[in-house]
Structure 1
Amino acid sequence: MDVVVIGAGQAGLSAAYWLRRRGLSFVVLDADPGPGGAWQHRSPSLGAGSLHRIFDLPGRPFTPPPAGSAATVVPAYFREYEAAFDLPVRRPVAVTSVARAGGGFRVDAPTGSWTARAVINATGTWTAPYIPYYPGIADFAGRQLHYAAYRGPEEFAGRRVLVVGGGASAIHLLAELPGAFWATRREPVFHDGEFTEDHGRDVVARVAERVSAGLPPRSVVSVTGLGWTALAREARVRGALVRHPMFDRLVPGGAVWGSRFEPFDAIVWATGFRAALSHLAPLHLREPGGGIRVEGTRAVREPLVHLVGYGPSASTVGANRAGRAAVHELAEALSVLEVC
């Protein structure tokens, strides 16, 4: 076929829509058991109305209901979207390797192999949670988990929780966990304006600078700041937005700042994610700086591989634009190859 798309989240579905519009043959391989991308794995306690905004997928507006869990509402929208445009999504297909094969690529998974002239990678970050090393992390005797494994406040009732991280995930935790203690490396900066598409374009441009230099992308919140979402306002009203600097070390019963000790029963690491790209290792796309250098969405080392939902397009609005741009460029490139 012309293109294999890996991942059926916002970026992958956007790319699939434009592939269908351009008349290219393609398949979408998705590791999840059902539609919804990373949204289906979010905590049931995260309400759809608590988010910044979920931008529409191309060709079909999204109108969130007044109530409901994001883990239910967004996957329902994705499911309806796949059906409306008859998108060829195959699941569960967990891609393990992408390699050069003749004049194209071979995409391997435990359930089969596919060959294509080009690849659009849209695997996002949810499956690659990141927990940084801190002295004593292995000595802490309480429970430790990444935000990706958080499923609501009930399991932490009566426990003193340390929340580590300065992004939207941490704000979600602070709004739900009474008495949580908040620690970040940098002072959080809250953004007072609306997260509009114009603001999104500015953010994308700044994140793109690192990616074009072959450096690993920074977190989007490091550029955008935090928005005053419903969750942030709720946390502020509850007096939960009291930030403390990072501890010096962890000990079995808690954390230590100099001579000060604070006891904790659990730590939730809201410390972000890394791009899930291990399956692309056979293509040797990484630069000495550790990242994959892209121009637009095209991998510089492999022009027929495009990364959407990576770096500057790692947001809902960025993913939409990236899907369209990747398909436009690939359609032109494949047309030229066909003529040759």
Structure 2
Amino acid sequence: MEHHADLVVLGAGQSGLATAALAPRHGFARTLVLEAAEQAGGSWPHYYDSLTLFSPARYSSLPGMRFPGDGDRYPARDEVVDYLRAYARRLDADIHTSTTVTSMLPRDGAWVVRAHDGSRFTAPAVVAATGAFRGPYTPAVPGHEEFAGQSLHAADYRAPDPFTGERVVVVGGGNSAVQIAAELGAVAETTLATRRPIGWLKQRPLGRDVHWWFQHTGFDIAPLSRLLERMPVSVLDDGHYRTALDTHGVERREMFTRLTPDGVVWADGAEESVDAIVWATGYRRTFPYLDGSGALDLDGRPRHHGGIATIAGLGFVGIEFQRSFSSNTLRGVGRDAAHVLSRLGRSR
């Protein structure tokens, strides 16, 4: 079956939905959204159960629809999923779920997008908004293949109960690592392994949420993408997570140097038996459906400037630090989507 549209958007997560919502304003009369999952929501339904936003609800909205409830609260994962699915139902766009894109190639001034079921979609413009969470990253640590315990990425972690009474090491120094270590500490002997000390950032400096400061100083939208990519990771906390780590005896240790069949070898040479390792080590951008299109460099990274691909008719939304600090966030993807759509609309 073949479908034609003015714009095809890949992904029905926050980035794809924001793009589809803004498309009519930029001259795209018919938009198709292709989503691999059975429902809209992107990666959010797959995050761990207790995930809570570090941005208040008032700073967590997509274009045209306020995040419901008290604006000063910090929404939970399931609230975000519900919000995104409600947002999708309001869109003036056709959303094709259970549609996995396998390839995408430019042809005769248009893009030909093929799905796993043989469906074909064509459009003069395409926005790849499949996000940065398709490729969980686990660093290559010596002995990894020898380790006989449980080794899982944060993408596969859901809740602490299965680890009750075990010895667990959480690897990573970001928000997710700290959240996971804090809740695991209540049921398991837990250590947080990082390459450098955790950089704590106050959630509410001088009585205002840090996102208020980001907005009112202009930092949130400053074009500092290259600088931001090199900034050390910081953990936003109102004191809750530091207290939880201390209460449950979760210590931070220098990253281990290797794995053994039974556990880890710490930086000081001490060996310790470990039951499980949770790798909260981030994700790598991956766009397998763009292989052979000319849109990726030799390392598989998109060739783009602020989301505008170096190949005509293609844009990206949802890349971390794509244009600013708030890129790839609920509050920031709309700005990036508008920028990309305006450029794609002009080039048609």
Interval containing the TM-score (normalised by the shorter chain): 0.7 to 0.9
Q: 1:109 to 1:240 in 2, by over 3 A?
A: farther
1:209 is aligned to 2:219: no
Instruction: Give the conservation status (yes or no) of the 8 Å contact 1:203–1:224.
Output: no
Segment drifting more, 112-121 vs 80-89: 80-89
CA offset at residue 64 of structure 1? 4.9
Q: 1:190 to 1:240 in 2, by over 3 A?
A: farther
Aligned to 1:324, what secondary structure does the other structure show? helix
| Alignment partners' CA distance in 1, 2:275 and 2:100 | 35
| Alignment partners' CA distance in 2, 1:114 and 1:234 | 52
Aligned equivalent of 1:4, options 5, 8, 19? 8
Q: 1:26 to 1:87 in 2, by over 3 A?
A: closer
Map of 2:303 onto structure 1? 293
1:61 is aligned to 2:78: no
TM-score of the superposition, structure 1-length normalised? 0.86
Aligned equivalent of 1:87, options 65, 90, 93? 93
1:304 is aligned to 2:313: yes
- Structure 2 letter corresponding to 1:180: T
CA offset at residue 241 of structure 1? 5.7
Q: 1:322 to 1:197 in 2, by over 3 A?
A: farther
Instruction: Give the conservation status (yes or no) of the 8 Å contact 2:290–2:296.
Output: no
Q: 1:229 to 1:90 in 2, by over 3 A?
A: farther
Aligned equivalent of 2:115, options 109, 121, 124? 109
- Structure 2 letter corresponding to 1:139: E
Segment drifting more, 74-83 vs 59-68: 59-68
Map of 2:195 onto structure 1? 185
Instruction: Give the conservation status (yes or no) of the 8 Å contact 1:30–1:93.
Output: yes
| Alignment partners' CA distance in 2, 1:68 and 1:167 | 18
CA offset at residue 311 of structure 1? 3.2
In angstroms, what is the RMSD of aligned CA positions? 2.7
**Residues 212-256 of structure 1, C-alpha deviation per residue, up to 9 Å, x if partnerless?**
xxxxx958xx55621115762453452556321111111111111
| Alignment partners' CA distance in 2, 1:310 and 1:143 | 31
| Alignment partners' CA distance in 1, 2:239 and 2:312 | 42
Aligned to 2:197, what secondary structure does the other structure show? coil
**Residues 263-302 of structure 1, C-alpha deviation per residue, up to 9 Å, x if partnerless?**
2100000010011311111222234576333222101x21
Instruction: Give the conservation status (yes or no) of the 8 Å contact 1:143–1:266.
Output: yes
Map of 1:324 onto structure 2? 338
Aligned equivalent of 2:287, options 277, 281, 286? 277
Aligned equivalent of 1:35, options 37, 40, 46? 40
Aligned to 1:152, what secondary structure does the other structure show? coil
| Alignment partners' CA distance in 2, 1:18 and 1:230 | 38
CA offset at residue 79 of structure 1? 1.4
Q: 1:248 to 1:260 in 2, by over 3 A?
A: same
Aligned to 1:20, what secondary structure does the other structure show? helix
Q: 1:41 to 1:230 in 2, by over 3 A?
A: farther
Instruction: Give the conservation status (yes or no) of the 8 Å contact 2:8–2:123.
Output: yes
- Structure 2 letter corresponding to 1:248: T
Q: 1:280 to 1:204 in 2, by over 3 A?
A: farther
Map of 2:214 onto structure 1? 199
| Alignment partners' CA distance in 2, 1:197 and 1:329 | 30
Aligned to 2:339, what secondary structure does the other structure show? helix
CA offset at residue 20 of structure 1? 2.7
| Alignment partners' CA distance in 2, 1:127 and 1:290 | 13
Instruction: Give the conservation status (yes or no) of the 8 Å contact 1:175–1:240.
Output: no
- Structure 2: any 5+ residue segments left out of the alignment? 322-326
TM-score of the superposition, structure 2-length normalised? 0.84
**Residues 35-60 of structure 1, C-alpha deviation per residue, up to 9 Å, x if partnerless?**
221111112233x4x53345101001
Aligned equivalent of 2:50, options 22, 45, 58? 45
| Alignment partners' CA distance in 2, 1:333 and 1:197 | 36
Segment drifting more, 301-310 vs 6-15: 301-310
Instruction: Give the conservation status (yes or no) of the 8 Å contact 1:98–1:279.
Output: yes
**Residues 282-340 of structure 1, C-alpha deviation per residue, up to 9 Å, x if partnerless?**
222234576333222101x2132111101322332332211111111112222xxxxxx
Higher helix share: 1
- Structure 2 letter corresponding to 1:100: P
Q: 1:314 to 1:241 in 2, by over 3 A?
A: farther
Instruction: Give the conservation status (yes or no) of the 8 Å contact 2:182–2:248.
Output: no
Q: 1:255 to 1:187 in 2, by over 3 A?
A: same
